[in-house]
Amino acid sequence: MPRPPMPVGTYGRIRVQGTKGKYRALALFRDLDGKTRQVERGGSTKAQATEALKLALRDRGRLGTGISGETRLEEVAALWFASVERAVEAGERSPGTAELYRRQMETVVVPGVGSLRVREATVPVLDSFVQTVRARRGPAVAKLARSVLSGVLGLAVRHGAVRSNPVRDLSPVHAGRRKPTRALTLAECRAWLAQLDADEAAREKDLPDLCRFMLATGVRIGEALAVAWPDVDLEAGTVDVSRTLIRLTGVGLVRKSTKTEAGERRLILPRFALEMLGERNPDGEAMGPLFPDTLGGWRDPSNTRRALRDARGSEGFAWVTSHVFRKTCATVLDAAGHSPRAVADQLGHAQVSMTQNFYFGRRIANPDAASALDAWHDREDESHG
């Protein structure tokens, strides 16, 4: 019987030829195309030639992608992020997520372990790195660094540079004790809005109406700034939320679809929000953003957050961020007896539980939410009087 062929990616017996100071190590290797070829490497000693050949044979067994155990992590990271960018272009990844990964890769992962070769990215080395990041920069940054490393090493696995992804065996990143979610009380909300109304700089930056809109809807600041007048139906009393604004490096401000299908929602506006919007667009002919920048275009969420920080003034409101208005809206609806699913629908969250996701309606406008927010607002007016 003929001898069976060598398995693909393997080699036969190594032979060494030559004389003192100049040796060649040779072996037959069965390439990924099924053909057997002779591979050779040289060295000043038999041992050096043999070791050089073994390294060449090992790397030859990898997929022909240019990634091997000798490739530095920063090079693999660049290739991985290029695949993330392609996924964004195909609509398979969020531009915001890609931007988050890019920043983490450039500011944390590459400076920390980018000079390591793939074969050096072992569980102990990466575990020490991630835990150091957690100690110095907090669990959120450490978790994101771990996610980026998982993607980078996952690419190395798919290219045959390593057999398994070492990130899978890293120690878990414990978030620690989370601070309880805080929302504005009725009195705090009244004081906050009064402070904004009395602040000329805040009024010039359109902060009072923007805050009222976020309190009335529970939308994220990027979603609020992405709403245009055609998304608002003042007669029906609704607003369609389907976009958000983010700034991408090298691109600029981008108005993109919300994170999930659940994020695309129609909300019924409370009366106080309708009155505010009616005053902003009395003839109903406006077509641009609800809350434009000084030139009438889309407004940068980062700059708006900075303006809100500047408007906080006293230490009593030092904790207030744009997300507090979202939390406040959710708290008001919860206190009014709305189900967790109804509150999640208002906020555009995809999941409360698997059962609720399958058996409750999606993207259904909830008139009771508007009523609850109006009742809360009316109580505010009464207490103010």
Most distant CA pair in the chain: distance in Å?
102
- DSSP letters for 118-144: GGG--HHHHHHHHHHHHHHH-HHHHHH
C-alpha radius of gyration, the chain, whole number = 29
Burial of 184: CB neighbours in 10 Å, binned 0-12, 13-18, 19+: buried
Query: What is the residue whose two structure tokens read 């009725």?
Result: 186
The predicted model scores a pTM of 0.63
Per-residue pLDDT, 181:
66
Q: Rounded to the nearest 5 degrees, what angle is found at the Cα of 182, between the Cα atoms of 181 and 183?
A: 125
Burial of 265: CB neighbours in 10 Å, binned 0-12, 13-18, 19+: buried
Positions of E strands within 6-51: 15-19, 22-30, 36-43
Q: What are 175's two structure tokens?
A: 């978030």
Domain spanning 186-384: CATH 1.10.520.10: no
Burial of 373: CB neighbours in 10 Å, binned 0-12, 13-18, 19+: buried
The pLDDT averaged over each successive group of 10 residues in the chain (385 residues) is 73 88 89 81 90 82 68 93 84 81 94 95 97 94 96 93 94 77 84 92 95 92 94 92 82 76 79 92 89 93 92 84 87 76 69 34 50 65 52
- Say if CB 216 and CB 241 are below 8 A apart: no
Q: What are phi and psi of 11, to 5 degrees?
A: -135, 165
> Which DSSP letter does residue 118 get?
G
Delimit the domains of the chain by residue range.
Answer: 15-60, 73-169, 186-384
CATH H-level, domain 73-169: superfamily:
Tyrosine recombinase, N-terminal domain (1.10.150.130)
